[in-house]
Structure formats: C-alpha cells, structure tokens
Amino acid sequence: MSDKPRYWLEFLKHPRNQLVAAGVAGVSVMLSFPWGGDALILGGLALAAIEVLGLAVVPGLPSFQQAVNRRSRVADREDRRQRLLREIDIHGGSRYLSQYQTMWNRVQSLYRTAGDASTRLSPAEVEQLDDLTVNYLTLCLSDAVMSSSSNEQLLEGVRKKLAAVERRLANAEPGSDEAQSALGLQAEYEDVLERGSRLSARRSTLEAALVGMPVRFEEVYQMVMTAPNAGNLAEMLEESVSRLQLSEKAAMDISMSTSDLAIALSQAVTSPEPGAEKSKASRRAPRQAVANAAGRREHPGGR
C-alpha cells in the first residue's frame, strides 16, 4: 500500500480544478485586449483567491478524501495485479488463469451494478471481491512456481550438491575446518530439500483453494445479481466474503512458503562447495612454483 495521499496536491491536479484555472486564465487573456494588463492582473488575483479558498476547503471534505483514497487503492491494486501477472508469465503460466479471468469479469459486472442508484450494492463492497481476485493471482503464482520445471531443476542441483558434500565429508578428517564447513552445508541442503518435500505434500491444499474459490465466488456473484436490492445484502455479502477469506488464508500460507523456498533454492544452488577455494589454491600452487623456477633460471643472479 502506498503512503497516505496528499489531498492538497490531489486537489490541484484534479481535472475540474485545472478546468477552472484554464477558464479564468482564458477569460483574463481575452479581457486584456480591450483593458490591457489590468485585466491580466485582476484575473491572476481572482485565480489565486479561488485556489486558496479551494485549498482551504476541498481537501478536508470527507467525500473528496474518500474519492482520493479509492483512486489510490485502485492504482495500488492494479499495480499489484500487473506485477503478479508478469511473474506468472515468467514462471510459465498457471492453468488456473482462466478461472481468474472469469472472477475478474464478474467483478467488473458488479462494479457496473454498484453504479446503478437503484441497487444497495456499493463500490466499496465490490472492492473487497476485487481484492480477492488479486489474492487469487498470488495463489496462481504459487502454482506456477511449484509447477515450474526450473524449480525441479534447482532441487536437482541441490541434491547433487548434497551428494558432493557428503563425499567430501566422508574423506575429510573429523573435526577439521573442512569437515565443519561440510557439515554446515549438509544441514542447509537437507533443510531446503525437506521444505521442498513438505510443500509438495501440501500442494493439494493449494489446489483445493484454487478450485474452490472460483466456485464460491460465483455463488456470491449469483446471490448479488439475483437480489441487488435486498435489505440484508450488505450482511450477506460480508458473510460470504469472510468465508472466502478464510479458505484463502490457508492457501496464502503455502504461497508464502513457496516464495521462501524459491529464495532458499537460489541461495543453495549458488553457494560454494566446501574445499572449492582450497582446491583452486592447490591447483594454482604447482603452476606458481613452475613460474618461480623459470624466473630463477632466467635471472640466476637475482635475489
């Protein structure tokens, strides 16, 4: 969520305020032809007075602040939506995006219904459902990450690193620095692989949410469209949204774990193996000795 909007700045940028400013400036220019610069000065003073009065009154109006806050929420929501869609595409897509598209279409229909003065449905209530569509995209991203072939490749890379570490550990002297380093990496790799196994086992929970949420979402949509003027519509909608949020929460926990696993996999694959630097140094030592011997032969008197 972005910082709290600056209402005075939003007032200055508002199209109606800019239209008033342009109108006053235009009239001042037209009047300057018969009356000269005095008309421009008077127009400037009138515009300044209007702006000062507007800044003193309009930004503090609750209706204005609500409108600005809603625009800010919409912008934040759309930024997050587009970012998630890009991430899903990077990971190869998700087979549940068609369900997301249906949910999004339903929300757009509800926004149009909320704009009808004869209905009891408010845009703020529809926004709760719109937020759920963005959260559903988060679950789609988790599905894309868990289904990605690159994720399995990273796991395979960790398995190979673990096998290499275990071989080094078997040949290392107990209690040596190399053995201690290998033990640390062994624990790290085993932890990453265990987390991957746990997530695979819990994937059924994620898939259940991805399948169930669109069904319950459709039930809410049909309930609202069937009785948009019902007196208890707000209570019915709130109860339905609460049930949707509860089913979403369990899957969101898995989504967060998936993100953590992706980071851990990347770190594990790029971490150096124990003894790698030592091996490089041992390979460089003979070459350095040969170079030093050659230097002494070229300069036998050198000290």
Q: What mean pLDDT do residues 28-38 have?
A: 78
DSSP 3: P
Q: What is the pLDDT of residue 196?
A: 64
Q: What is the pLDDT of residue 148?
A: 63
Confidence tier at 90 by pLDDT (50, 70, 90): confident
Give the Cβ contact number of residue 63 at 10 Å: 8
Helix 62-90 / helix 123-147 crossing angle, nearest 10 deg: 20
Please provide the DSSP assignment of 213-230 as one string. Answer: HHHHHHHHHHHHHH-TT-
41 residue type, one letter: I
Q: What is the pLDDT of residue 202?
A: 65
Element (H, E) at 20: helix 15-35
Percent above pLDDT 70 for the chain: 69
189 residue type, one letter: Y
Q: Which segments of 158-245 are extended strands (E)?
A: none
Could you tell me the sign of the dihedral formed by the alpha carbons of 74, 80, 86, 88, in that order? negative
- For the entire predicted model, the pTM comes to 0.59
Structure tokens at 204: 């059924």
Lowest mean pLDDT segment, chosen from 56-70, 152-166, 196-210, 270-284 = 270-284
Alpha-carbon distances of 40 from 16, 47, 94, rounded to whole Å: 22, 10, 62
300 pLDDT higher than 70: no
Give the Cβ contact number of residue 92 at 10 Å: 13
Structure tokens at 127: 């926004």
Mean pLDDT of the chain: 74
Give 170-179 pLDDT, tens digit per residue. 777 777 777 7
Q: What mean pLDDT do residues 10-28 have?
A: 81
Per domain, the residue ranges of the chain are 1-73, 91-284
In the chain, DSSP finds a helix count (H) and a strand count (E) of 10, 0
302 residue type, one letter: G
Could you tell me the sign of the dihedral formed by the alpha carbons of 235, 236, 241, 243, in that order? positive
283 pLDDT higher than 50: no
Could you tell me the sign of the dihedral formed by the alpha carbons of 217, 221, 227, 229, in that order? positive
Q: What is the pLDDT of residue 293?
A: 45
